[in-house]
Structure 1
Amino acid sequence: MPSHDRPLSPHLQVYQLYRKIAPLLSITHRVTGMLLFVLGTLFVIYWLGAAAYGPESFATAQAVFGSPLGMLVLFGWTVVLMYHLANGIRHLVWDTGREVSNEGVRRTAYAMLASVVGLTVLAWAIGLAVAL
C-alpha cells in the first residue's frame, strides 16, 4: 500500500535549491527570459514612442536612460541578457550530449556565471568607450 506521508510530486522543500546550483540556475533562466521580454519590450516601446513624438520627447527619453537610475536599470538588463545568453549556450551544449554528468553540469554552471560577469563588463566597456 502506498505511503501518504510524502508529497506526491517533489517540490521546493524536497529539492533544497540552496544546496544545488543546477535547479537554481534553471529557474533563474526562465525568470530572466520573462524579464528580457517584459523589460525589453517596455524599453523599446518607450524609446521608439519618444522618437515618434518628436525631438523634445526623444531628448527626455535619452535623459531618462542616461540618468544614474536609468543606467542602473540598463546595467541590470545587460546582466539579465548576458545570463540568459550564456545559459542558453550552455543548454545548446547539453543538447549535443556533452557535459550532462553531475560534474559537467556543475562545471558549466560556474563557467557560465563567470562568462556573464565577463560579457557584461565587456559590453559596458565597449559601450562607454564608444559613447565617450
Structure 2
Amino acid sequence: MADANRANRPLSPFMIGPYYRPQLTSMTSIFIRITGNALLIGAFLVVWWFLAAASGPEHFTFVNAVITSWFGDLVMFGSLWALWYHALGGLRHLIFDAGYGLELKQAELMGWGMILGSVLLTLLTVVVI
C-alpha cells in the first residue's frame, strides 16, 4: 500500500534549509561533485592553450595572454585546489568503500582532513612550482 504521507516529506537530502541540516560529511560530498565539474573549466583552458600553441603564434599569443592574466591565474589556482580536493575526496571514498572510517567522528575528521589537506597541498604546490 502506498504511503499516504509521501507527499509531505522532502524529496531529497540536498534540500538544505528548513528540511535538512547541513553536515560536514554531506557538504564535503556535495563539494566533491562541484569541484569535479569545475575542473572542466581549467581543463578546457589548458586544452585551448595547447590547441592555440599548435595552430600558430598569433592564436597562441592571445590565449597565453588570457591564461597568464590575473583571471587565468585565479582560474588555474582554483583548479589546482579543486584537483587536490577532488583527489583527497576520492581517497576518502576509497577508505569508505573498504569499510573503514564510517563512524561519524572519523568521517568528520576525514572531512576536515580533506579541507585542510587540499588547502595545504595547493599552497605547497604553488610554492614549490
TM-score, normalized by length of structure 2? 0.84
**Structure 2: which 5+ runs fail to align?**
none
**Pair 1:46-2:48 in alignment:** yes
- Please, what is the CA RMSD of the aligned residues? 2.0
In the TM superposition, 1:54-69 aligns within 5 A as 54-69=56-71
**Pair 1:85-2:90 in alignment:** no
In 2, the alpha carbon distance for the partners of 1:114 and 1:8 equals: 32
Give the match for residue 30 of structure 1: 33
In 1, the alpha carbon distance for the partners of 2:12 and 2:61 equals: 52
What SS is found at the alignment partner of 1:15? coil
On the 8 A contact 2:81/2:122 being kept in 1, the answer is yes
Identity, % of aligned pairs? 32
On the 8 A contact 2:36/2:86 being kept in 1, the answer is yes
Give the match for residue 130 of structure 1: none
* Count of equivalent residues: 124
**Pair 1:14-2:19 in alignment:** yes
Question: Which amino acid letter does the alignment assign opposite residue 94 of structure 1?
Answer: F
TM-score, normalized by length of structure 1? 0.82
Q: Which is helix-richer, 1 or 2?
A: 1
**Structure 1: which 5+ runs fail to align?**
128-132
What SS is found at the alignment partner of 1:98? coil
Q: Which runs of 4+ in 1 moved over 6 A?
A: none
What SS is found at the alignment partner of 2:9? coil
Give the match for residue 99 of structure 2: 97
On the 8 A contact 2:24/2:108 being kept in 1, the answer is yes
Quote how far apart the aligned CAs of 1:94 are: 1.3
In 1, the alpha carbon distance for the partners of 2:10 and 2:122 equals: 41
Quote how far apart the aligned CAs of 1:15 are: 2.2
